[in-house]
Amino acid sequence: MISNRRTVLSAALAAVITLSVPSAFAAKPLVIGFSQVGAESEWRTANTVSIKDAAKKEGITLKFADAQQKQENQVKAIRSFIAQRVDVIAFSPVVESGWDTVLREAKRANIPVILTDRAVNVSDPSLYVSFLGSDFVEEGRRAGRWLVERQKKTPDVALNIVELQGTVGSAPALDRKKGFEEIIAGNAKLKVIRSQTGDFTRAKGKEVMEAFLKAEGKKINVLYAHNDDMAIGAIQAIEEAGLKPGKDILVISIDGVKGAFEAMIAGKLNVTVECNPLLGPQLMQIAKDVVAKKPVPKRVVTQEGVFPAEVAAKEFPNRKY
């Protein structure tokens, strides 16, 4: 009888210990090292908020580094994440090239790397496990298609285009230029007369547009800006030159941030091609799957649309960034 009671008591005691003492084997939170391009635009701010919020929601420890748009700062951050032995490294590469060495160091340290937002040009695609982001060439095509359709309204009128490019050497700048040119190629009525980087910022976009206006003045019929922030800066320059943005000069841009919708509602911007920055939840899921040794897609393309001024007021309340 006593031995039975002892058995029951010891089983009960073991159960209490197991339940009450946190197990030394409880899964420790995932640690992700994230190197962000910077804080150059509304898009970037929304992207950062999405990533930080998603990490917090998932109970993931996020080590976040802002590179202030400098590649050397991203390389330093990635090396620091390797030294800290994070579980996953994720980053939005400010430019396409110059990553092989540091990504090989991450591979040697057995730390998986996930690309978000922008792509890299590397000799060995195994240097990253997945790339989550938009198709920038298609975004450029969508901008071009809008202009081709718009030009058909006045088929005999030639339109001179000035282009504000994104950061030199960055995937969005290279690809948005490529996609736009692909669509307008062969159209004798559409001609790019000036093209220069505005580095994705409002200030630089305004400065370069001022130079375009000084050089070309009323010859300019269209502005194609690789992001809304440069377009918003350029709109200020157009107004200060005594011209009406959206009317005297058609304004086409990319991102779909709230500032662009406000400019469209004010009649100063004609169309924005959406580029979705809300990548946080998908990034966290890919990171969890990688650590759990589940298969992850090499390429995840974000879904996005095109918003002409005609729909801006109706769509604005739905905008999340």
Binding residues for ligand GZL, per CB under 6 A? 40-41, 43-44, 117-118, 134, 172, 200, 227, 229, 254-255, 275
Q: Which is closer to ligand GZL, CB of 73 or CB of 134? A: 134
262, 238 in Cβ contact below 8 A? no
Q: Which is closer to ligand GZL, CB of 47 or CB of 221? A: 47
CB-CB neighbours of 118 under 10 Å? 23
Strands 250-255 and 222-225 come out as parallel
How many residues appear in the chain?
321
Q: Which is closer to ligand GZL, CB of 87 or CB of 117? A: 117
CB-CB neighbours of 215 under 10 Å? 12
Q: Which is closer to ligand GZL, CB of 159 or CB of 180? A: 180
Q: Which residues contact 302 (CB under 8 A, 6 or more apart)?
A: 132, 133, 134, 275, 276, 279, 282
Q: Which residues contact 203 (CB under 8 A, 6 or more apart)?
A: 233
CB 37, min distance to ligand GZL, A = 6
CB-CB neighbours of 219 under 10 Å? 12
CB 232, min distance to ligand GZL, A = 11
One-letter amino acid of 127: L
CB 255, min distance to ligand GZL, A = 5
CB 288, min distance to ligand GZL, A = 23
CB 103, min distance to ligand GZL, A = 19
Q: Which is closer to ligand GZL, CB of 176 or CB of 194? A: 176
299, 236 in Cβ contact below 8 A? no
CB 118, min distance to ligand GZL, A = 5
